[in-house]
Amino acid sequence: MVVTYCTVEDVADFLRIPITATTTPNKTQVEKIINRKEEELDRRIGHTFGREKTITKEIHDLALLYTFGWGTPIWLQHRNCKPLNSSSGDKIEIWQGASSAYDDILNDTEWYEFDEVYGRLYLRGFLFSIMRKNRVRVTYRYGDTTVPDDVEDACVKLTAIELLNTSLRMDQIPIGSNQLNIDQSIKYWKDSVEECVLNRREVFFIP
């Protein structure tokens, strides 16, 4: 099972316990939890790290705007997009009222420009178009190439919280000469995760 934001070894080191194919929980179980927490972080932050995701048929209106030398702007819902490539399943589809169908113009590069960093698509030749509502449908890929340390840390802590909440047969975690109970530890970890999410949460443009 593929994990990206952290590894089973990271979680084992954090909790100071062995996690192998034969322990309880075992490696496969922990990897499943990591995958779920990766998706949770992606959903809450609004971005993905160390991998790419595909957004399918994201629908946009055509704004009555024009940027000289570029075209009519469309703001995609994600940044750090991958170069548009039809062989990877990407599409720029324009609604054709006469045929009641979307026509893919991705391979007709004279009709658009694409700013991958900010996720801005510029269309040429549509400034004076009458049809604007739900006119464009875009399928594209996005995602950072690396996983930041704080995102990795948040995934480790979310996984550890899930493990403790599902009974890892631990009553207390020893901290030096003191004893910190599990509830206190979980609260501290949750606060740390919330700080990471707050710091990295994406701002979405609403036209």
> What percent of the chain clears pLDDT 70, i.e. is strictly above it?
92
C-alpha–C-alpha distance, residues 28 and 21, integer Å: 7
CB atoms within 10 A of CB 41: 22
Q: What is the arithmetic mean of pLDDT over 23-38?
A: 95
DSSP state of 48: -
Q: Is 34 helix (H, G, I), strand (E, B) or coil?
A: helix
Q: Average pLDDT over the chain, rounded to whole?
A: 91
Residue of higher predicted confidence among 194 and 207: 194
User: Can you name the residues that pair with 80 across neighbouring β-strands?
Assistant: none
- Reduced 3-state DSSP string for 81-140: ECCCCHHHCCEEEEEECCCCEEEECCCCHHHEEEECCCCEEEECCCCCCCCCCCCEEEEE
pLDDT band at 1 (very low <50, low <70, confident <90, very high): confident
pLDDT in tens, 86-142: 999 999 999 998 899 999 999 999 999 999 999 999 999 888 888 999 999 999 999
Instruction: Locate the domains of the chain by residue range.
Output: 8-48+146-200, 53-142
Integer angstrom CA distances of residue 178 from 157, 172, 174, 175, 181: 21, 10, 7, 5, 10
